[in-house]
Amino acid sequence: MKKITDEDIQYFDENGFVILRAIIQADELAEIKKESLRLIDEVLAGGPAGSWCSRGPEGVPYYLRYLHSHPNSFSLRLLAHPFIADLLYRMVGFDFIPCFESLVFKLPENGSSVPWHRDDQHFAKTLRIFNVDIYPDASTVDNGCVWVVPGSHMWSVEEAAAMIERGQKNFNLPNAVPAEMEPGDVLLHHTKVLHGSQINSSRQLRRVIYFDQRTIAWNEKYHWWRRGFIAQRCKLLQCAFNERAKAPYSSDEEQFKYQVPPGMPVWEEQDDFDLRIEHDKYTYQGRQ
């Protein structure tokens, strides 16, 4: 099984992002493309997924939340991809838990921009809290790829805020670089790294699947969500590994051997399980 290298991890720690090439193979990519396009069409047609899809500054849909809960055949299996699970085990810890999942898309000739921002910043600089971004399509400067300011994950809140304000007036921030991707590539970006993207005026659809993973220990320290959220999310992860094992892609060389962390519930296949585990229902009092 292909694995993230120590050099990749060091690059991520220094820059706040790293590009990992040719991770998702052709058989899985084909399924992701087919099913994600169906979900996008459902959103545009005003179907059930539409009410869970946010709109960007230009007023067009681009961000489908709670991806697993919108019936599809790829997202849970992708969550349990052995390369992704292995890098999380090594970079985050044995008690990694899936906390967010979304499908982000930029429509051809009318794809939403995303202003410069940080995803989150209320935790210690040393924590590796990052998004795993899986690309089924090429992402280029022409179709609105993500731009990143290397090293900005180490900035203070004040320094980041000042640069975000500057980016509202002129997208071209000093030292910003484009993260251009090919189908099957994976981008890891720290939730504190400054990033954003411009509109897609090309004729190409650009899609990316986002997974945010944290740990049980971190949640106990920072109190993002009550323990019931983490327990349900742990069951979701076990469900994902089960889905991948039942119908593995031919490109899989081996499965990741996941072990349920101590104190967490064990998922059973007969469980009546809701894949939309909403954050607001489990948020600590006073936190958003």
- Predicted confidence (pLDDT) per residue in 139-161, tens digit: 999 999 999 999 999 999 999 99
Q: Which residues pair with 186 in a beta bridge?
A: 20, 134
What band does 251 get if pLDDT is binned at 50, 70 and 90? low
Radius of gyration of the chain (CA): 18
- Whole-angstrom Cα distance, residue 126 to residue 109? 40
Query: Do 256 and 83 form a contact (C-beta atoms < 8 A)?
Result: no
Domain extents for the chain? 6-280
Is the domain defined by 6-280 classed in CATH 2.60.120.620?
A: yes
What confidence tens digit (pLDDT) does each residue in 106-133 have? Answer: 999 989 999 999 998 878 778 999 999 9
C-beta neighbour count of 43 within 10 angstroms:
21
What are 210's two structure tokens?
Answer: 């986002």
